[in-house]
């Protein structure tokens, strides 16, 4: 799977690292902290200033991809 990702200027309120925009499918864009993996729907986080949540279950391949960005 070829995941799209883009660094964002917003930072995680917990970790302080820049969020990453990840599109695991063409129907879903997420804003995710690559350190703690807190996430949320991209538009809700960026446009509506919603809070990140650790309750959103990321697909395993997306979580693995993000962990690879940290390395």
Q: What is the pTM of this model?
A: 0.78
What gap in Å lies between CA 43 and CA 53, rounded to an integer? 14
pLDDT tens per residue, range 12-65: 989 898 898 988 667 778 899 988 989 999 889 888 888 888 888 888 888 888
Nearest to 69, CA basis, from 8, 20, 13: 20
pLDDT tens per residue, range 30-44: 899 988 989 999 889
**CATH number for the domain formed by residue range(s) 4-70:** 2.20.25
Structural domain boundaries in the chain: 4-70
pLDDT tens per residue, range 3-12: 666 788 899 9
Which pLDDT score, from 0 to 100, does residue 2 have? Answer: 56
């Amino acid at each position: 799977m070829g995941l799209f990702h883009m660094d964002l200027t917003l930072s995680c309120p917990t970790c302080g690292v820049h969020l990453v925009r990840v599109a695991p499918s063409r129907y879903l864009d997420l804003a995710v902290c690559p350190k703690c993996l807190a996430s949320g729907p991209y538009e809700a986080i960026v446009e509506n200033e919603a809070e990140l949540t650790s309750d959103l279950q990321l697909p395993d391949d997306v979580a693995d991809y993000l962990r690879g960005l940290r390395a």
